[in-house]
Amino acid sequence: MNLENSKAQMRKGILELCILGIIDAEKEVYPSDIIARMKEAELIVVEGTLYPLLSRLMKGGLLDYSWVESKSGPPRKYYKLTENGKLHLKELKKTWGTLSQSVATITQNTQNHE
């Protein structure tokens, strides 16, 4: 039990939402794009975390991909949301809203003692 683990647990909670959100916003992205967008939002994600997650989302029918050639290296997998993926994202956003509200309710009474 340490602070870093606690923070990590929080980050885990929003990871999928953020990934899906980014793909939705960009229409089509490849993993490095996602990593870059995440970084812009101050969320550090590495390939070893991202790839397995994308695989799971694929398996779940939330994503689709197509190969696109690149001039700077090997071909890339460009991902986009399926209809199911959009629905899934919508639900996650709703859940996120509800949870945020819950946290707000709970922590509002906790006036910081500083």
- Give yes or no for residue 80 binding DNA (CB under 7 A): no
Query: What values do phi and psi take at 65, rounded to 5?
Result: -140, 160
Residue 66 contact, options DNA, a copy of itself, none, Cβ 5-8 Å cut-off depending on partner type: none
Q: Which is nearer to a copy of itself, 70 or 91 (CB)?
A: 91
**Which of DNA, a copy of itself, none sits in contact with 59, Cβ below 5 to 8 A by type?**
a copy of itself
Residue 79's φ and ψ, nearest 5 degrees, are -100, 150
Looking up tokens 């794009």 gives 33
- Residues numbered 3 to 62 that lie near DNA (CB under 7 A) are 5-6, 8-9, 11-12, 15-16, 30-32, 45-49, 51-53, 55-56
- Annotate 1-52 with DSSP letters as a single string: --HHHHHHHHHHHHHHHHHHHHHHHHSSB-HHHHHHHHHHTT----HHHHHH
- Give the whole-angstrom CA distance, residue 33 versus residue 23: 9
CB nearer DNA, residue 73 or residue 108: 73
Task: Give the interface with DNA as residue ranges (CB under 7 A).
Answer: 1-2, 5-6, 8-9, 11-12, 15-16, 30-32, 45-49, 51-53, 55-56, 70-77
